[in-house]
């Protein structure tokens, strides 16, 4: 994989944007539910140096809930507030667990192997 590929970079950038949007929506929803986390979020971001691309998600929010004493543990925060179907849950956007689609065939090495005269009749192979 070419890490400098424009398509790949664009996909990662969009995913980071989706993650940040989800993070902010969860924090906003928690505030509406009576669990303001402004101070804890500020400390979290200051501690990370607000690194671009830093992973921000439910785990970090759960830790903030524990620091604010709204939850007794990360597990408690997930079970009561942040888990799927719970009051502050916000569904994922973006790629999820799928790979980005790209109009291309198999890599060049595979295309060569698949079209090689010695490998075209795969059905005739037998396991021994």
CA 122/CA 115 separation, integer angstroms:
11
Is residue 108 one of the residues assigned to a domain?
no
pLDDT digits (tens, 9 = 90+) for 20-49: 899 999 999 999 999 999 999 888 888 765
Is residue 1 one of the residues assigned to a domain?
no
Q: What is the CATH number of the domain that holds 54?
A: 1.10.150.650
Is residue 116 one of the residues assigned to a domain?
no
pLDDT digits (tens, 9 = 90+) for 45-94: 887 655 555 678 999 999 999 999 999 999 999 999 999 999 999 998 87
* Mean per-residue pLDDT of the chain: 78
Tokens linked to 101:
């689609």
The 8-class DSSP code of residue 4 comes to T
Is residue 78 one of the residues assigned to a domain?
yes
Contact (CB, 8 A) for 90 and 23: no
What's the angle, vertex CA 50, arms to CA 48 and CA 54, rounded to 5?
75
Look at the chain and report how many structural domains it folds into. 1
Is residue 68 one of the residues assigned to a domain?
yes
What's the angle, vertex CA 73, arms to CA 31 and CA 23, rounded to 5?
40
Instruction: For residue 23, give the nearest of 113, 87, 88 by alpha carbon.
Output: 88
Is residue 19 one of the residues assigned to a domain?
yes
CA 88/CA 32 separation, integer angstroms:
9
Is residue 77 one of the residues assigned to a domain?
yes
CA 15/CA 98 separation, integer angstroms:
12
Domain enclosing residue 39, as ranges = 6-97
Tell me: pLDDT of 121 over 90: no
Is residue 37 one of the residues assigned to a domain?
yes
């Amino acid at each position: 994989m070419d890490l400098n590929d424009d398509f790949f970079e664009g996909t990662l950038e969009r995913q980071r944007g989706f993650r940040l949007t989800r993070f902010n929506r969860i924090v906003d929803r928690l505030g509406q539910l009576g669990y303001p986390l402004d101070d804890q979020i500020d400390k979290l971001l200051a501690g990370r140096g607000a690194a671009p691309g830093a992973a921000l998600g439910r785990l970090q929010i759960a830790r903030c809930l524990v620091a604010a004493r709204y939850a007794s543990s990360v597990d408690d925060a997930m079970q009561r507030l942040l888990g799927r179907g719970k009051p502050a849950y916000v569904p994922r956007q973006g790629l999820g667990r799928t790979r980005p689609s790209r109009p291309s065939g198999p890599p060049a090495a595979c295309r060569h192997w698949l079209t090689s005269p010695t490998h075209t009749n795969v059905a005739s192979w037998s396991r021994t």
